[in-house]
Structure 1
């Protein structure tokens, strides 16, 4: 069974297949959207555990407050339904089986504007301490069984405005990696259904565990999907955002890289895209975007601190439509620190970068040997069951709760 033209999931483990009733203070009834045939039927007696609506006296005013009220280790999903609105919050998921259910990605937005070089608040002991890349995340997941659905999660740092400032401008920011979602150590079985994840540089950091992005949307331009976790992107739109120089002209190609995997060599699957669409914002030139480069994170070893030689990143893109912005030279090297302290280049040919049966104007031309292809037998190994190690959750229902 290829991953692929047809995907059968009936024989896969479905850890999110059933939602059960919980005792809860909010006690709001969830409903399904009958117009969406992909949604499972929701029993009429299923209850939402917590409701967030900044305009309601009977609901939690923030997502953080609802998370604080959740049990530490619920054996079944603790459902937090979020009303339409704009939620400026920075949250960390440390409790198992949390579900954040928005009212549609166009209606509910969770965002924060931290970036790597920004000073952390409340650090009087060390006023120079910054967020760092991981710390910049709007949502950090450190627990098993997290689900986000029908919501936008954004890092709203204004990268374009900063990029157009001259280097000598006093307001110019540096170290502008700005993560929207991080699956950190402790995360596993993270599900994103009908979710929009937006940013610019380092938008989605899949550091650890298994993640499924299904019928979703991810945008950015520099290494905007990266890390060493296992991520399956299924029928998801991957959009490249435009870049401009201080003079207002387009950046020279490549303007960025879709992926920067750091998959451990012992791990058979990394970042896998199946039946996706690689699209572009207006203003993104043809042949301007690369598919990826190999990230070897600087790591502390017994004999020193240097680029991890065992991070043999994997990006595999299958049965996917690519617009014309994807360059025929799609894979690039990436720099790192050698054990002797000198800078070195890690070559894409040494990573696990492969395609299979892609199409569209950005797909590889005939005889483009720089874009390596899987054969049918190799592609057959990339099933959902294999990539996610037997985990495939049922489609999530939509929740349209009303606080009483």
Structure 2
């Protein structure tokens, strides 16, 4: 009997002469046409085709093996229980290039909300051991003459992953989520991120959803063209939701070139709504985020949190929403960047304990 590596078994790639067995572990395989391996599960050369093969009303995981390669496509997960499993965390890459200020195929600017590489619009999505990235090079674009900038109204915002309306109980484990600005957009439902890497500069984790981050690396990238290198989070949590983004036992790191004290933990995003008396920032959005027992490098600003503008009821587009008016907090921080932050709250031990994974994701029995 031939010895088989533990890695091959774990990946579901038990090789036998002329055949790579993908069943019963996998229901579909995403592989390049020039990949000579044969699988017992159906193979596809586009993610959209593999997702289309999943049952419309599935009640069990439909597992798609994502083999090594760069899968350049803007994907939509619109069926429940779709699970993506990468063959290699760094080499199984779901990628697409779009940015808010670039022109889309329809001749219009993409706009931030159309840029995600991957949209999730169905419950019980899962991803493991792969990379999801937006391939737009924000720093290169902003550094060139006449390049896109955030203040232009159509700038370098480039989302890698959006948990959109319909998403709930999304679970990502050991996934690299990469872009430069507005990287991760958990805007709906409950989500769990475990041992993930999330990288970006401005507002690179933002939205209205409930998300628990455990043992993740949150990596800030340098932004030398702007006064500060960045803001980690920009939540828009509805006031009737007790939790927004909670980070537990995470590491806030920095890429080379990120300056000391140049990155805020976050700022509160208040999207506008339309009301009988006009269009202005919707007061129901009162951001919530907490960092609990996290290690922070020295790029974190001593203030901790900062303000963000929104359109006031009087029409002033530079009305400021202050950290003290929302729900920003931390507890048990360590590392060179940890401090008695000047803004936001320090939780009591009891309050921190009350922000457990079970509490944040209430109603979801995570196994």
| Alignment TM-score, normalising by the size of structure 2 | 0.88
Q: Deviations over 1:165-213 (max 9, x none)?
A: 12389xxx94221000000111001110100000011000111101110
Q: Distance in 1 between matches of 2:113 and 2:86?
A: 24
1:99 match: 83
Q: What is the SS of the residue equivalent to 1:232?
A: strand
Partner of 1:49: 27
SS in 1 for 2:10: coil
Contact kept in structure 1, 2:125 and 2:169, CA below 8 Å: yes
Match of 2:137 in 1: 158
Q: What secondary structure sits across from 1:66 in the alignment?
A: helix
Q: 2:56 aligns with which of 65, 68, 72?
A: 72
Are residues 1:180 and 2:160 paired? yes
Query: 87, 108, 116: which is aligned to 2:100?
Result: 116
Alignment match of 1:225 (pick from 202, 205, 209): 205
CA apart distance, 1:242: 1.3
Distance in 2 (CA, whole Å) between partners of 1:166 and 1:149 is 39
1:299 maps onto 2:276 in alignment = no
Distance 1:147 1:168, change over 3 A: closer
Q: Does 1:380 align with 2:353?
A: yes
- Specify which of 308, 319, 332 is matched with residue 357 of structure 1: 332
Tell me, in whole angstroms, the C-alpha distance in 2 between the residues paired with 1:70 and 1:145.
13
2:179 is aligned with 1:206: no
Tell whether the 8 Å contact from 2:141 to 2:147 is kept in structure 1 after alignment.
Answer: no
C-alpha separation in 2, matches of 1:45 and 1:114: 35
Structure 2 distance, partners of 1:177, 1:142, is 21
Contact 1:163 1:244 in 2 (8 A): no
Mapped partners of 1:352, 1:104: distance in 2 = 38
Partners of 2:23 and 2:44 lie apart in 1 by 22
CA offset at residue 301 of structure 1? Answer: 2.5
Q: Secondary structure at the match of 1:32?
A: helix
2:67, 2:88 within 8 Å by CA — same for their partners in 1? no
SS of equivalent residue, structure 2 residue 354: coil
**Alignment match of 1:279 (pick from 247, 253, 260):** 253
Q: How many pairs align?
A: 340
2:241 to 257, 264, 267: 267
Which residue is 2:119 aligned to?
A: 140
Partner SS, residue 47 of structure 1: coil
1:90 to 74, 88, 102: 74
The 3 A distance-change label for structure 1 pair 136 and 377 is same
CA distance in 1, matches of 2:187, 2:299: 27
The 1-side partners of 2:342 and 2:254 are apart by 25
1:168 and 1:199 mapped to 2: Cα distance? 17
Q: Is the 8 A contact 1:384 1:390 kept in 2?
A: no
Q: Give the superposed CA RMSD.
A: 1.9
Q: Mark the CA change 1:354 to 1:118 in structure 2 (over 3 Å): closer, same or farther.
A: same
In 2: Cα distance, 1:218 partner to 1:235 partner:
11
Taking the aligned partners of 2:181 and 2:309, their CA distance within structure 1 comes to 17
* Partner SS for 2:141: helix
Which stretch has the larger CA shift, 51-60 or 382-391?
51-60
Partner of 2:5: none
Query: 5+ unaligned residues in a row in structure 2: which ranges?
Result: 1-7, 13-21
Give the TM-score, by structure 1 length.
0.80
> In structure 2, what is the equivalent of residue 313 of structure 1?
287
Q: Distance in 2 between matches of 1:233 and 1:355?
A: 14
| 1:214-267 deviations in Å (ceiling 9; x for gaps) | 01110000000001100100000000011233xxxxx43x22100001001100
Partner in structure 2 of residue 11 of structure 1: none
Rounded Cα–Cα distance in structure 1 between residues aligned with 2:46 and 2:357: 35
**Counterpart secondary structure, 2:345:** coil
